[in-house]
Amino acid sequence: MDFPYRTGSECPLFLAPMAGVSESPFRLLCRRFGADVVVSEFISAVGVARGLEHLFQDMRFEEAERPIGIQLYGADATVMARAAEMVTAVMRPDFLDINFGCPVKKVVKNNGGSGCLKDLDLVERIIRAVRSATSLPVTVKIRSGWDDAQRDPVTIALRCRDAGAQALTLHARTRTQMFSGTAN
């Protein structure tokens, strides 16, 4: 399988990003115990574009963590592009990951995270804007849909690919399932 960055393994083991957990020491331990690729917790593109210092502290990583992706979320393509440009220049990770999976109300109410899945044109616009703002590989994290009625992971994945996503992670639940129930 071809990944858009070096993984060191044909079938790499990815550390799932977890807000409040996936900090540098934790990621380093996981790399040591066998994770091939790690990703930061989700970071607000609005905050990055505003230059919030604490977010740049949160995004710091050790060279030993590579390959590492910084994960951004936001619902405004222009702001996402600006944040992608800044993270590329300042943090220099191995790839950028876009979060279209977060189900939390605070994020979704501003159309961020899995909120974007209700509007696949918006998903495409965000991916295209981020691709054109960075020289790094751009990957995405999705859920299988907003709810059972709109569950269509293959269409979402194909739209992401068409817009330029270079790899995709599926959290195989809908947004309304949050974090429980059977992953399908």
Ligand X SMILES: Cc1cc2nc3c(=O)[nH]c(=O)nc-3n(C[C@H](O)[C@H](O)[C@H](O)COP(=O)(O)O)c2cc1C
Nearest residue (CB) to ligand X, 31 versus 171: 171
Residue 102 is among the residues annotated as catalytic for this protein: yes
Q: In angstroms, what is the minimal distance from the CB of 104 to ligand X?
A: 9
CB 152 within 8 A of CB 118: no
Q: Which of 30, 102, 116, 160 is catalytic?
A: 102
71 vs 163: CA distance, rounded Å: 18
The bridge status of strand 95-100 relative to strand 68-73 is parallel
Q: In angstroms, what is the minimal distance from the CB of 113 to ligand X?
A: 8
3 vs 138: CA distance, rounded Å: 11
Furthest C-alpha separation in the chain: 44
Q: In angstroms, what is the minimal distance from the CB of 70 to ligand X?
A: 11
Residues paired with 68 in a beta bridge: 38
Nearest residue (CB) to ligand X, 21 versus 90: 21
Residues near ligand X, by CB under 6 A: 16-19, 21, 41-42, 71, 99, 101, 141, 171, 179, 183
Catalytic residue list: 102
